[in-house]
Amino acid sequence: MDDKIIVSNRSALIAKYTAVGVVKIKAAIGRLIIADAKRGIKSRFVYLDDSVAMKRFRGSAVADSRNARESKEAIDAIYRAVNPDYLMIVGAPDVVPHQDLTNPLFDPPNDPDRFAYGDLPYACDAPYSRNIAAFKGPTRVIGRLPDLRGAHEPSHLLALLAIAANPKSRKVKDYGIYFGLSTKSWHKSTGMSLFNVFGNSDALTLSPKSGPTHPAARLAPLTHFINCHGGMSDPAFYGE
């Protein structure tokens, strides 16, 4: 019986990194599986678009890596056949897609997002649906180790897999200092959250005027707590 199933999509990885890059990724996943075994976790790697592998789970292989329904049904088949304790998705949404839930708050221009994309349905036994109400009771432990969306060489993903295979624990106190950023209108709510997590909200800064750039010393803490909005196509945080 497998404790953990690691899944990805081979054709999507090849489209990003070529077959040579995928060989490196598979080798890195192999090292993770060996490391898992030393931790007492039996892991198996499965390509969701591998018809032979998916047949063993009595499921259908993913034909289109962009198809949310196909990926959901493939992962559901794995759970029905194996019921692993953990399942890890390797790759960003351009490798294994997020599920395309209909956004119940869609109301342009206030909320222009027609879909609420995410991995929640993968964690639920309910079959594929765009109705978010169908996924109220997650029963599966699902995680995603994402590469960089649109990347063309796999160094970032290989580094993440190496970290997963050889993690280094830190003391709790190492995370006691934090970088906190919010807006004036939300500062009370954010302050309460920081207090609940860290025991104080003393290091909370507000945008604007703080940001979008911050000195290196300010960003040095291992924990960042950010409660802001940004631009539609800009990584900077502006506030509201």
pLDDT of 210 above 70:
yes
Average pLDDT over residues 81-94: 97
- Using pLDDT thresholds of 50, 70 and 90, give the confidence band for residue 213: confident
Higher pLDDT, 230 or 146: 146
pLDDT at residue 233 in the model: 65
pLDDT of 239 above 90:
no
- The three-state secondary structure class of 186 is helix
- Using pLDDT thresholds of 50, 70 and 90, give the confidence band for residue 111: confident
pLDDT at residue 181 in the model: 93
The percentage of the chain sitting over the pLDDT mark of 90, rounded to a whole number, equals 82
150 sits in which H/E element: none
Q: How many CA atoms lie within 13 A of 35 on its CB side?
A: 13
Contact yes or no for 203/179 (Cβ under 8 A): yes
pLDDT of 87 above 70:
yes
Cα(233)–Cα(62) distance, integer angstroms? 30
Per-residue model confidence as pLDDT tens digits over 168-182? 889 999 999 999 999
pLDDT at residue 234 in the model: 66
Model confidence, pTM: 0.81
pLDDT of 236 above 70:
no
Burial of 171 (0-12, 13-18, 19+ CB in 10 A): exposed
Tokens of 90: 């390797």
